Each structure stands twice: as structure tokens, then as C-alpha cells.
Structure 1
Amino acid sequence: MLSNLTFRLANFDDLNDIVKLLADDKLGEVREKYENPLPLSYHQAFQAIDSDPNNSLCVVEKENRVVGVLQITFTPYLTYQGGWRATIEGVRIDASVRGRGVGKKFMEWSIQQAKEKGCHVIQLTTDKQRPDALAFYQQLGFTNSHEGLKLHLEN
């Protein structure tokens, strides 16, 4: 199962599969719009991410099918003597392969990407409505070291 995984940067042809993954859970089905054609906002967001050297939209494939997605943002800081940190967001693994080690391998690959970039820390958040995701990240060594807050803005 795990020997035939490919980890890579996403390309525009992956966009439909990515949005489908993002929409395929109880939170995503409310905030995403997976329809054909996709709303223009997804195309614009992909182009912005793809053109930013400090952002990486990544996918994992199994047998040439996208089964996972995440975004890594690399941010330079003045803290830690001008250190870099990575933020991982939008992690989704296809329900058909969940619980089989794909997410773990994908996160291990992502951690390696952050190390290669010279990051001193990786941060992420998970919604409190996803306790299984929290347990998953803790098994990978992530700790609840900070309180995270969000302010949703009206557009």
C-alpha cells in the first residue's frame, strides 16, 4: 500500500481532485463548493499559491490518483535569530485510504520539506471538531504548545 505513493507539488490539472478532497467531510461540505465547473476563486487561489515561492500546494498520489493534499507555507521571522518556520494547512486524505498510513507518510515527507528549507519549527492547526486529526498530529510528535485563535472576516 505505502510503496506505491508519490509525493509532489500540485499542478493545475489536480485542482478538481484537490477541491473534491477539501469538500469531502462535514466541515468541508459547508465551506467548499465542489461543482463543475469549479468557481473561479479556486483557479485564482491556485495561481496565487503556485506563483509564490514560499507556498507549496502538495499532493500524494496512489496509482496515479490524487489521494491527499496539503499546503505548506514557509515564513521568515525575526524571532529565533531570523529563523524560518513552516505552517501546514488544508490537510486532507481520501476516505478510501484513511487509516492505512498514507497521511503519516505524507506528513513525514512534509516535515522533510521543512527541514530542507531550513525551518526550525512546523506549526499547524486543526479544528476542534476533528479530534481524530488532533490525535494523529500528536502521534507524529506535534504538541499543544500554544493557543490558536482565528478571526473570520466578512467579505
Structure 2
Amino acid sequence: MKTHIKVISKEEILNIIPLLQKLNSKTPINLLKERVKEMSEFSNYECVGLYIEEKLVGISGLWYSTRHYIGKTVEPDHVILDESLRGQGIGKQFFKWIDNHVQNKGCEAIELNAYVNNPKSHKFYYNEGYNIYGFHFLKVLRKDKKFY
């Protein structure tokens, strides 16, 4: 099984949509595409892809910022690995690549959010050296108050 990991170009960014929809089934497809295109235009965002035999099987967005309490940091976002590949060490390989990639960009820490209803991801992140330091709160400002 030949794997490789790379930063996904802006021109190829919509290739993440099928995997992203597995994680985010609530957002209408046109809105999802619009948001992903807009995200790819930000200078503090990039998306990395994990490929097996040229097929995109894993993604993670990376949001870069500087925080007063830890310095330059990155937040992996919308992390997903094809279900058929889980438990084979591929996620560990993916995060090792991300660790090296962001350290080479000067990052001093990685922060991430994981949905409370995804305990398998919690176990994975614990095993990768992550600790829980707080809660992620969200307030929807749209009139419909819905999360999508």
C-alpha cells in the first residue's frame, strides 16, 4: 500500500468534499463548497491530504495562529480518515507527518477540538500525546440558531 501526504492546492481543494461530507452531513453541498473555497483563500489555512495509490483517503485542515499563552500554534480541523483504514496505524502516520510539517513552520503547539460523541477520536488523541485543557463552546448567531 503506497501512501503519501501533501498539502492540497487551492485548485484541488474541492476534492476534499466527499470525505468532508462524511464528517459534516448537515451542511448543504453548495454551502459546503462555498465555505471550503473561502477557507482556502485564507493565508493562515491549509489542508493536507493522505493518499493511498493516488486516492484521497484522509484530510485535515490546519489553521495557524499565535496565542499569548503558548506561541505559534496550529489547529487541525475537519480531520477524517476513511473508515476502512482505521486501526491500521495510518492515522498515527498522518499525525506524525502533520507534527513534523507544522514544527518545520515554527509551531510550538497543536490545539484541536473533538466532538463529544466521538470517543474513538478521544482515545486516538490521548494516545498521540494530547491532553484536555478545556471545553469548546459555540454560539450560533444566525437567526435560525442551527448548527450547519
Report the TM-score, using the length of structure 1 for normalisation: 0.80
What CA distance in whole angstroms lies between the structure 2 residues aligned with 1:111 and 1:96?
24
Report what 1:15 is aligned to. 14
What CA distance in whole angstroms lies between the structure 2 residues aligned with 1:78 and 1:106?
28
Residue number among 29, 45, 51 corresponding to 1:61 in the alignment: 51
- Equivalent residue letter for 1:113: H
| Identity across matched positions, percent | 22
Count of aligned residue pairs for this structure pair: 142
Report what 1:114 is aligned to. 102
> Counterparts of 1:1-155 in structure 2 under 5 Å?
1=1, 4-11=2-9, 12-13=11-12, 15-16=14-15, 18-24=16-22, 28-29=24-25, 31-33=26-28, 38-39=29-30, 41-80=31-70, 83-154=71-142
Kindly state the Cα deviation for residue 133 of structure 1 after the two structures are TM-superposed. 0.4
Q: Which runs of 5+ in 1 are unaligned?
A: none
| Contact 2:40/2:46 (8 A) holds in 1 | yes
**Root-mean-square deviation over aligned CA pairs:** 1.9
Kindly state the Cα deviation for residue 147 of structure 1 after the two structures are TM-superposed. 2.4
Kindly state the Cα deviation for residue 49 of structure 1 after the two structures are TM-superposed. 2.8
Q: Which runs of 5+ in 2 are unaligned?
A: 144-148
